[in-house]
A and B are shown apart, each in its own frame.
Chain A
Amino acid sequence: MTGPYAEARAEAGVETEAPVLALRDLRVDFTGPDGPLPAVRGVDLALRRGEVLGLVGESGSGKSTVALAAMGLLPRTARVGGSVRVGGDEVLGAGERELAALRGRRMAMVFQDPLSALTPVHRVGDQIAEAVRIHQDVGREHARRRAVELLDLVGIPDPGHRARAYPHEFSGGMRQRAMIAMAVANDPDVILADEPTTALDVTVQAQILDVLRTAQRETGAALLLVSHDLGVIAGMADRVAVMYAGRVVESAPAPELFAAPRMPYTLGLLGAVPRPGARVLTPVPGTPPELRLLPRGCPFAPRCPLADDACRAAEPEPVGGEGHSVACVKANEVVARGLTAPELFPADVPAAVREEVPRDGLPAVLRVEGLAKTFPVLKGAALRRRGGSVYAVDGVDLDIRRGETLGLVGESGSGKSTTLLEILRLASPEAGEVELLGHDVRGLTKRQARELRGSVQIVFQDPMASLDPRMTVGDIVAEPLRAQGADRGTAARRVPELLRLVGLEAAHAARFPHEFSGGQRQRIGIARALSVEPELLVLDEPVSALDVSVQAGVLNLLRRLKDELGLAYLFVSHDLSVIRHVADRVSVMYLGRTVESGPVEEVFARPRHPYTRALLSAVPVPDPVVERGRERVLLAGDPPSPVVRAEGCGFRGRCPLYATGLAPEGRSRCERERPSGAVACHFPQS
């Protein structure tokens, strides 16, 4: 598929056109208890018709504030300076009435959370029709017809019928489609999309990005795409602007920025994203600065390995003009020396030396076969009775050997977390077998179960929620040891050692979790899990709540720990690039079932199940050339409800093979028989 970038280039003369959205020296300060708190500190951006500008940055860099300021949506307490012009009209300082005429008509916004952006008590079609009628003098009936057309444009099946549905009857992906339909209802000049796919699964994300591209092409609008995901940006954007500490530090055409970044921060950010081929990630040391207490000079200087006195003296202004502008005094040095991310930010992990031990010779740490778990759906108010079942887990097979990392992949609702909890419960499963370190969990006595608990530990997704806010870090880390029966003194003496093992300091033991940054909190969670010297560490989305530069550090840490301590990991993630980076073997789940598993290189190179193929092709890669050049398998629709246990193959409703590529007898086999085996498909591709 050719991206909009190619088109923009093809249309000669686009460069000279006046921008439809122009930000000049935009400054935003929020009022805090100790004076103004800067969020955006002088941003210049220009969008031309038909152009896609990607705005990237980590959390707190001010990228969303820029989008909100452009819409005039900032709260009253924010002090905004500079200029935002849409076409020829100034947004800043405009009255509510003028703003209302601009919003929706000239510019429209797509938010991150589509559920809170739609009114729950009105029908989706009516909400879109309302957006049409606000700006266009058309009748009710006409607006309604237009709403259906728009829903059709964004790819909602049976739009006439679905227009009469309420937002809660839509899935997340469909709500986001409806939001896009609403955004393009009045042919705006500018569409602002603030993290439009962050809350969605990869396969749905691929659909939505596709829709966004279509919508943008249909209306010819300029698109400002705000995202933290460099892969999404690489696939969509013509130009990319990187934000750090409230400023744009580098901006360039997408292929150039991804191929030859000039600012050390961009370099670090790109190096931190897991991608095929990169065995070691480059974490950017330190954390983003507090904007209230910005040091003099370049805000990135404290984290920059190239920083010298010139950097600390004054904040560099962006230079380089319209083409490739960069706000860094060291940019020339980076270009001249041809620095790469690993050279600039040396990781603390030696590239892993993999010993080739025949896998069959290794002892099994965890073996799961045919695991199932259902939850009752209760009906009735007074007398609650079982009215049906949610088949959360319905046939999961796992096999982990010592020192091995198994990546468990699946979309939300595929039963990953339930699988983990079922394994960790150490009680008899509803169906199937769980064998941990050679013990079948079915016959465990209380005492054995207690001992086994020490050898399998879990690290949770949200590092803040999984640490008791009222306990000191020392107590938190020592807790599993205490639960295993160690006395207070012994447990406490282990703490400094454990903290140092995960890259923290012994003195941190006396502090509380909220005093740490996200990455540090996750390290505390890992230290807690390691305290009892487990053999298997279950990692439930351990990095998905973290920024990329921090994520890289945690992934490297996990890697080092595995090499040093010989741990086995069960690594659950929805992020396939992370899985590819850390895992030795991978197991793909769909609708509570394992559909494919095998060595990671093999599965990623030659996926055999149609779902795996679609999943892999949906993952955005942070490389514009690869991202635009590859062929995509787009899956239709959303995963079906796990309440209905369909006959035959659970995937066939979305299966591209079933839809087009099968003979009638093959199709009927899919409908009747449940596929089994290593690849749960009747017609695996070889």
Chain B
Amino acid sequence: MTTTAATPSAPVTPVTAGEPTEERPPGRTRVALRRFAANPNAVVGAGVLLLLFLLAFAGPHLTRWSHTDIDYGALRQAPSAAHWWGTNRIGQDVYAQVLHGLQKSLLIGLLVALFATVLASVVGACAGYFGGWTDRIVTFCIDLLLVFPAFLIIAIVSPRLRDTGWLAFVGLLAVFGWMITARVVRSMTRSLKERDFVRAAQLMGVHPLRIVFRHILPNVSSFLIVDATIAVGGAVMSETGLSYFGFGVQPPDVSLGTLIADGSGAALTYPWMFFFAAGLLVVFVLAVNFLGDGLRDALDPTSAQHRRRRRRRKGGRA
């Protein structure tokens, strides 16, 4: 048995006996939100992400240039009053281009990570929880998708989806990015299923899907969040790779990935073509990581402020 630091001597809320309207105890969502707000890293991460969105969607209106405009009088010009972040080799405004690219990358990165993680968690948890034929069919599909050459298929399919735009591209990236996560979630679920609290819920008559969403998924959430934050960076990168080969975002449309790919050759000679795009990508990925860490700590009651105390206790029992 572990003895915890929590003492029964906590302040008692003065509740007069027999009073019918007692305050409801806060549920897990409210507790998690409160903990999230109390975590400085998380708040900074969320704030920076919000600023990035603001910059990406409001920023272009501050300049008279659009990302397709070409200023023939200003080729490869350093940042100035006319072109805040300079121009590229054909006279396009870097500020307008980077912000437009940021729009694309923010949406692609976050949406792909979100879709892939949601798909992976639901499919993996259901396969692990229900077992039997559900599990066998799902595992077979996962294995099948894993052996498909994703790059090749996206390369073949994406030109046909050109008319539907970048959303279809997000869908494609998500569909090929969830399998490994799902396998991990599945095996975690199988071990969680044996735990007493899941058995308790089963015996209470809680609906199986409700058990999956209320008990299984919250208990794998730490992994899911870490995985999703990595997936954000990964999605931006694979979009870049595909765009480079001419499948993803196509000119005249731009993304951070295409801008970085274009500018990397000029990184040392005309640094503004490269560093604004690269810098924003770094800030974006960092913000997502901070946010993810904060979210994980907020959802995991035993983490952050409690982790230190726990470690100490373990030392005492060794």
Q: Could you tell me which A residues sit within 8 Å of B by CB distance?
A: 30-34, 37, 39, 59-60, 75, 77-78, 286-288, 290-292, 424, 449-450, 453-454, 457-458, 460-462, 464-475, 479-480, 482-484, 488-489, 492-493, 495-497, 504-512, 514-518, 520, 528, 545-547, 550
Residues of A within 8 A of B3 (CB): 59-60, 287-288, 290, 517-518
New contact pairs (7) apart from A460-B196, A479-B201, A496-B15, CB-CB < 8 Å: A32-B316, A33-B312, A37-B315, A470-B215, A473-B25, A484-B205, A515-B306
Return 12 A-B CB contacts under 8 Å, by A number: A75-B318, A286-B8, A465-B195, A466-B199, A469-B301, A470-B215, A472-B27, A483-B205, A489-B24, A506-B22, A510-B26, A517-B3
Residues of A within 8 A of B316 (CB): 30, 32, 37, 39, 60, 291-292
B4 in the interface (beta carbon within 8 A): yes
Residue of A nearest to B6 (CB): A515
Q: Considering the complex, which residues of chain B in the window 171-222 have a beta carbon less than 8 Å from any beta carbon of chain A? A: 195-197, 199-201, 203-207, 210, 214-215, 218-219, 221
Given the interface contacts A507-B12, A512-B302, does A37 sit within 8 Å of B28 by beta carbon?
no
A30–B300 alpha-carbon span in the complex (Å): 27
Residues of A within 8 A of B201 (CB): 468, 479, 483
Residue of A nearest to B311 (CB): A33
B11 in the interface (beta carbon within 8 A): yes
**Nearest CB of chain B from residue A446's CB, rounded to whole Å:** 10
Residues of A within 8 A of B219 (CB): 468-470
Residue of B nearest to A488 (CB): B27
Interface residues on B, range: 35 or more
Contact present for B1 and A518 (CB under 8 Å): yes
Contact present for A496 and B205 (CB under 8 Å): no
Residues of B within 8 A of A515 (CB): 4-6, 301, 306
Residues of B within 8 A of A512 (CB): 301-302
A473–B203 alpha-carbon span in the complex (Å): 19
Contact present for A492 and B25 (CB under 8 Å): yes
Contact present for A492 and B200 (CB under 8 Å): no
B31 in the interface (beta carbon within 8 A): yes
A interface footprint on B128-145 (CB within 8 Å = 1, 0 otherwise): 000000000000000000
A458–B200 alpha-carbon span in the complex (Å): 7
Given the interface contacts A32-B315, A60-B316, A517-B4, does A475 sit within 8 Å of B28 by beta carbon?
yes
Residues of B within 8 A of A39 (CB): 316
B160 in the interface (beta carbon within 8 A): no
A-B interface, 5 closest residue pairs, ranked by CB to CB distance from nearest: A509-B25, A474-B25, A512-B301, A466-B196, A518-B1
Residues of A within 8 A of B164 (CB): none
Contact present for B4 and A514 (CB under 8 Å): yes
Residues of B within 8 A of A462 (CB): 196
Residue of A nearest to B22 (CB): A496
Given the interface contacts A288-B3, A469-B219, A469-B301, does A450 sit within 8 Å of B205 by beta carbon?
yes
A472–B300 alpha-carbon span in the complex (Å): 11
A345–B93 alpha-carbon span in the complex (Å): 82
**Nearest CB of chain A from residue B137's CB, rounded to whole Å:** 18
Contact present for B27 and A508 (CB under 8 Å): no
Residue of B nearest to A468 (CB): B197
B7 in the interface (beta carbon within 8 A): yes
Contact present for A506 and B197 (CB under 8 Å): no
A510–B301 alpha-carbon span in the complex (Å): 11
Contact present for A506 and B312 (CB under 8 Å): no
A468–B301 alpha-carbon span in the complex (Å): 11
**Nearest CB of chain A from residue B203's CB, rounded to whole Å:** 5
B2 in the interface (beta carbon within 8 A): yes
Contact present for A471 and B306 (CB under 8 Å): no
Residues of B within 8 A of A550 (CB): 1
Residues of A within 8 A of B200 (CB): 458, 460, 466, 528
Given the interface contacts A32-B316, A60-B3, A292-B312, does A453 sit within 8 Å of B205 by beta carbon?
yes
Residue of A nearest to B2 (CB): A518
A interface footprint on B10-39 (CB within 8 Å = 1, 0 otherwise): 111101000000101111100100000000
Residues of A within 8 A of B26 (CB): 472, 474, 509-510
A235–B15 alpha-carbon span in the complex (Å): 50
A288–B6 alpha-carbon span in the complex (Å): 12
Q: Considering the complex, which residues of chain B in the window 133-164 have a beta carbon less than 8 Å from any beta carbon of chain A? A: none
Residue of A nearest to B302 (CB): A514
Residues of B within 8 A of A78 (CB): 318
A290–B6 alpha-carbon span in the complex (Å): 10
Residues of B within 8 A of A453 (CB): 203-205
Residues of A within 8 A of B11 (CB): 507
A488–B22 alpha-carbon span in the complex (Å): 14
A468–B192 alpha-carbon span in the complex (Å): 10
Residue of B nearest to A420 (CB): B203
Residues of A within 8 A of B27 (CB): 472, 474-475, 488, 492
A77–B312 alpha-carbon span in the complex (Å): 13
Residues of A within 8 A of B196 (CB): 460-462, 465-466
Contact present for B218 and A470 (CB under 8 Å): yes
Partner of B25, one of A60, A424, A484, A495: A495
Residues of A within 8 A of B13 (CB): 505-507
Contact present for A510 and B312 (CB under 8 Å): no
Residues of B within 8 A of A466 (CB): 196-197, 199-200
Residue of B nearest to A78 (CB): B318
Residues of B within 8 A of A504 (CB): 8
Residue of B nearest to A531 (CB): B204
Residue of B nearest to A460 (CB): B196
Residues of B within 8 A of A473 (CB): 25
Question: Which of B26, B204, B315 has the most chain A CB atoms inside 10 A of its CB?
Answer: B204
A675–B308 alpha-carbon span in the complex (Å): 59
**Nearest CB of chain B from residue A274's CB, rounded to whole Å:** 18
A133–B197 alpha-carbon span in the complex (Å): 49
A506–B23 alpha-carbon span in the complex (Å): 10
A518–B214 alpha-carbon span in the complex (Å): 24
Residues of B within 8 A of A424 (CB): 203
Residues of B within 8 A of A480 (CB): 204
Residue of A nearest to B316 (CB): A37
A interface footprint on B273-317 (CB within 8 Å = 1, 0 otherwise): 000000000000000000000000001111000101011100111
**Nearest CB of chain B from residue A103's CB, rounded to whole Å:** 20
A interface footprint on B65-79 (CB within 8 Å = 1, 0 otherwise): 000000000000000
**Nearest CB of chain B from residue A469's CB, rounded to whole Å:** 7
Residue of A nearest to B11 (CB): A507
Residues of B within 8 A of A465 (CB): 195-197
Contact present for A287 and B302 (CB under 8 Å): no
Residue of A nearest to B195 (CB): A465
Partner of A468, one of B215, B299, B315: B215
A465–B207 alpha-carbon span in the complex (Å): 20
A288–B25 alpha-carbon span in the complex (Å): 29
Residues of B within 8 A of A511 (CB): 6
Contact present for A483 and B1 (CB under 8 Å): no
A381–B158 alpha-carbon span in the complex (Å): 43
A506–B11 alpha-carbon span in the complex (Å): 10
A interface footprint on B46-70 (CB within 8 Å = 1, 0 otherwise): 0000000000000000000000000
Contact present for A493 and B22 (CB under 8 Å): yes
**Nearest CB of chain B from residue A471's CB, rounded to whole Å:** 6
**Nearest CB of chain A from residue B268's CB, rounded to whole Å:** 46
Question: Which of B2, B3, B206, B317 has the most chain A CB atoms inside 10 A of its CB?
Answer: B3
Given the interface contacts A290-B3, A514-B302, does A520 sit within 8 Å of B197 by beta carbon?
no
Residues of A within 8 A of B206 (CB): 479, 482-483
Contact present for A467 and B197 (CB under 8 Å): yes
Residues of B within 8 A of A454 (CB): 205
Residues of A within 8 A of B221 (CB): 470
**Nearest CB of chain B from residue A376's CB, rounded to whole Å:** 15
Residue of B nearest to A285 (CB): B8
A510–B2 alpha-carbon span in the complex (Å): 20
**Nearest CB of chain A from residue B27's CB, rounded to whole Å:** 6
Contact present for A458 and B7 (CB under 8 Å): no
Given the interface contacts A32-B316, A518-B3, does A470 sit within 8 Å of B203 by beta carbon?
no
Residues of B within 8 A of A545 (CB): 1
**Nearest CB of chain B from residue A635's CB, rounded to whole Å:** 30
A512–B210 alpha-carbon span in the complex (Å): 20
